Structure 1
Amino acid sequence: MDAIPVPADFSGVVSIDRADDSAGEPSVRQAHGLANRAAGIPNRVDTRFGIASGSKGFVAVAAASLVESGELRLDTTARSVLGDDLPLIADDVTVEHLLAHRSGIGDYLAEGDDDDLTQYVMKQPVHVLDRTEAFLAELDGYPTVFAAGERFAYNNGGFVVLALILERVSGVPFHDLVHARVFAPAGMADTAYLRSDELPPNTALGYLHADGLRTNVLHLPVRGNGDGGAYSTAADLSTFWRALFAGKLVSPELVENLVRRHSDKAWLDMAYGLGFWLRPDGKVQLEGSDAGVSFRSVHDRETATTWTFMSNWTDGAWPVARQVIPVTPPQSA
């Protein structure tokens, strides 16, 4: 197919990956802009980008894997695992509530429509947030907002609580657990939770603005955790989607529960499952937005087609994603 038009200031990768090109339009993957502006290093189609909250889908699959192995249940309460930690979390909040953003717990990183993502301030210096237990001080002190199960409210802190639960019930550090349960069996060789202060070659720095040299290294935890922060490639995202729906990560029954509607009209016209956005056109979506990061990956399980938009500045991916595959397609006249 023809090249996908992008704005002049777009920096990142756009990918439309079709499993069977012979049936119609061929796949396309294209890179634009710079992975490192100061050094003049260009983005490549295989460059790794931060995907922010896009990582929540990986956490959901890791949780489902522990359910499948019998180490966890969806109705396991957070309190039964946390003990005396985070005492403001209600006793009846379960793993399923946390996965569905229906826990009602107070959020350490609440989001709103008018947030300036470059202005978030953590309680602790970001360089100490390199492991899950280090987030306890960040998560503590936020009272319950509503009763568990009452409604949907997007909650970043809830997914860090999930990471704590997964780590404690499995006895495996969170980052190692997700690698073993998701990245390795899916064949995602270029996906990992990297430290932002020691990024390897062919990894894009995240920039706060469309131009300039200011990166996000002082704005985010030095290593991502349950609520986001993995680095990945467009090819690995396609690999993840196909492995997920092929039953290579967890059973088809558990996959169906992950992508079942647990909340309608969660955001715009989208519903929400367990870790995954569910679009009105039937496709499944992962999305991430943070200082220096914008990411969306959409998968059509019927055709095994994946649309992925990765950018290494805060708002870079959205104009292209809205143009290529809008959440709600325009109505014909």
Structure 2
Amino acid sequence: MSTINMDLSRLIEETSKEIEFSGVIGVKTGDDLIYSSGHGYSNRSDEIMNTAETRFGIASGCKLFTAIAICQLIQEGKLRFDSKLKDCLPIVFPDFHQNVTIHHLLTHTSGIPDYFDEEVMEDFEELWQKNPMYHIKRLKDFLPMFQDDVMMFEPGERFHYNNAGYIVLGLIVEEKTGLEFSEYIDKNIFLPCGMKDSGYFSMDKLPKNTALGYIDQENGTWRTNVYSLPIKGGADGGAYITIKDMFKLWEGLFSNQLLNKEYTNLLLEPHIAAEDEGKFYGYGIWIRKKNDAIFKYHLMGYDPGVSFNSAVYPANRLKTVIISNESMGPYDITCAIEKEL
């Protein structure tokens, strides 16, 4: 093992211990796995440990899957980036702007109302007081939460992270293919990449080796997140994956296995500047620049009892996957790795 790899491993171990990390961490240089570790319990009650085989929810980390699906349909000629929402779905959105396009939805610039606006609401669990989470099984089940609300701003005016926009994109995938969204992703993304352990699983029938998400209370007690999230994930988040499968996804994307070179490049292009300096958004993916060069392509996901961070650092030929079954942790480990880079 090289000195750099040893230093990186030591740094990850120290940080994981310091923050009492629960989850899994994987680091690859090129095709070589240089670091892998599991921490904490996937099931606290039965004291089952997290391992490289454990499946974890990744929340918004799977917006990339939705963006890839849309780009596949555009590549096939079934849609265009400038296709208007009103021409793609038979669903009526009474107060949505007529000029909202696929590009706007992909880049969080549509201005449509969001069912969970992260700048206004802090607690994702508030949503399920009026709309029981066990009723949210299909993408159409999200519609009553935003369909009749008014626009936040004019399409294309600015970047504003929007979960509902990705629900709408998922509905477009269903409309254009005749498949349920999760079925389309299974067949056209997970299967071609060999991601055999990944899927949009229902929380009331999770497969074996799936970590339960944990919410720690201030008084030292804890509970699982089973009543905190939709019963089944949708086009804006909620798939379950393993670290091995996440590496396969990155490899499938960057080798033009999922999209041809033209559309892979379009997906990875920094289309819009986001909130922070040097931070951009492509299609379903965050992009960080340093000195006008791409420092990393990355995905993030946060839900009650779920935290996820995965990145590709082109100049360093490095890929990282960090997933937790608690509400925090991957960000701290990512920062420690980047300090070493």
> Is the structural similarity TM-score above 0.5?
yes
| C-alpha separation in 2, matches of 1:120 and 1:323 | 34
Q: Which moved more, 1:296-305 or 1:99-108?
A: 296-305
Q: Is residue 242–residue 304 contact of structure 1 (8 Å, CA) maintained in 2?
A: no
The answer to whether the aligner puts 1:252 opposite 2:270 as a matched pair is no
Aligned residue runs from structure 1 range 231-246, under 5 A: 231-246=240-255
- Is contact 1:193-1:231 (8 Å) kept? yes
CA RMSD of aligned residues (A): 2.0
Aligned to 1:285: 298
Alignment of 1:75-224 (within 5 A): 75-112=82-119, 115-121=122-128, 123-209=130-216, 212-224=221-233
Match of 2:336 among 301, 316, 323: 323
Partner of 1:36: 43
Q: Per-residue deviation at 1:302?
A: 5.0
Q: 2: distance between equivalents of 1:258 and 1:46? A: 29
> What displacement does 1:65 show?
0.7
C-alpha separation between the residues in 2 aligned to 1:219 and 1:50? 13
Structure 1 residue 308 corresponds to structure 2 residue 335: no
Which amino acid in 2 is paired with 1:179? Answer: D
1:9 aligns with 2:20: yes
Q: How far, CA to CA, are the matches of 2:277 and 2:109 in structure 1?
A: 17
Q: Distance in 2 between matches of 1:268 and 1:121?
A: 35
Structure 1 segments unaligned to the other structure (5+ residues): none
Equivalent pairs counted in the alignment come to 324
Tell me the amino acid that sits aligned with residue 25 of structure 2: V
Closer, same or farther: CA 17–156 of 1 in aligned 2, 3 Å: same
CA distance in 1, matches of 2:277, 2:118: 15
CA contact (8 A) 1:86 1:139 kept: no
Does the Cα contact within 8 Å between 2:116 and 2:124 map onto a contact in 1?
no
The C-alpha deviation readout for 1:73-102, integer Å capped at 9, x for no partner, is: 111111112334222221110111100001
Calculate the TM-score normalised by the size of structure 1.
0.91
SS at match of 1:136: helix
Quickly say closer, same or farther: Cα 1:204–1:106, change in 2 above 3 A: same
Paired residue secondary structure (2:215): coil
Which of the pair is proportionally richer in helix? 2
Distance, in Å, in 1 between the alignment partners of 2:239 and 2:148 is: 26
When normalised by structure 2's length, the TM-score is 0.89
Unaligned runs of 5+ in 2: none
- 2:111 is paired with a residue whose SS is coil
Matched residues, percent identical?
37
In structure 2, relative to structure 1, the CA distance for the partners of 1:128 and 1:119 (3 Å cut) is: closer
**Residues 9 and 212 (structure 1 numbering): CA distance in 2 closer, same or farther, change over 3 Å?**
farther
SS in 2 for 1:313: coil
What secondary structure is seen at the aligned counterpart in 2 of 1:153?
coil
Aligned AA (1:286): L
Q: 2:61·2:308 contact (CA, 8 Å) conserved in 1?
A: yes
SS at match of 2:289: coil
Partner in structure 2 of residue 49 of structure 1: 56
- Asked if the contact 1:224–1:230 (Cα under 8 Å) also holds between the matched residues in 2, the reply is yes
